[in-house]
Structure 1
Amino acid sequence: MSEAVSETTAVEESLQTFIETLRDSATYQQFVDANEQLEADEEAKSLLEAYQEKQQELQADEFDSSIMSELQELQSEVSNNDTIQQHRAAQEELAALLEETNDVISEQIRQEFAQSLGGGCC
């Protein structure tokens, strides 16, 4: 076996271990649970959909105070919805964990790890 293949295999094994560790973490499990709760909560999903539609409506049209008022009311309802807030908190905690992981990897390799190198079409 060549040295390059051996190195690639070692990296892939380490990556698999990292993925399994992440999946087993309390932070990830809280996110999965919060996501499942959000998917099961039709009221919360409808509220988010209405909020997103109202945001798009506001962006597509010239400023309309009635749309802004409706958006503010929906924002208040979103802020008061426990399912949505639990999902957002879990999502923020997972993002913080992944950001911290990125920082550690970047420090170890002495360059930005999750950096866009450009050149893509999208």
Structure 2
Amino acid sequence: MSEAASEELAVEESLQTFIETLHNSKTYQQFVDANKQLNADEEARSLLETYQQKQQELDTDDFDSSILGELQELKTKVSNNVTIQEYQAAREEFIALVEQTNDVISEQIRQEFAQSLGGGCC
């Protein structure tokens, strides 16, 4: 086995260990559980869908104060929904964990790890 292939294998093994550790972390498990609860809560899902639809209406239509009023009312309901609150909190904690991981990797390799290099094909 070449040295490059050996290095790639070592990186792959370390990556798998990292993925397993992240998957088994309390933060990730709380996010998964909160996501399941949100998906099982028809009222919360419906509330979020309605809120997103009203946001889109406000973005696409001329200014309509009635839509703005409805949106404010829905925002209050979304903010007061326990299932949505728990999901958002778990999501924010998981995002923070991933961002911290990115920061540590970036520091170790001395360049931004998770950055878009732009472009694409053609």
Task: Look up the match of 1:8.
Answer: 8
Task: Look up the match of 1:79.
Answer: 79
Q: d(CA) in 1 for partners of 2:77 and 2:84?
A: 10
Runs of 5+ consecutive residues of structure 2 not aligned to the other structure: none
Task: Look up the match of 1:66.
Answer: 66
TM-score by length of 2: 0.98
Structure 1 position 10, deviation (Å)? 0.4
Moved over 4 A (4+): none
Please list the CA deviations of residues 61-95 of structure 1 after superposition, one character each: whole Å capped at 9, or x if unmatched: 01100000000000000000000010000000000
Task: Look up the match of 1:27.
Answer: 27
Q: d(CA) in 2 for partners of 1:75 and 1:120?
A: 38
Counterpart AA for 2:22: L
Q: d(CA) in 1 for partners of 2:8 and 2:77?
A: 50
TM-score by length of 1: 0.98
Q: d(CA) in 1 for partners of 2:99 and 2:63?
A: 36
Task: Count residues with an aligned counterpart.
Answer: 121
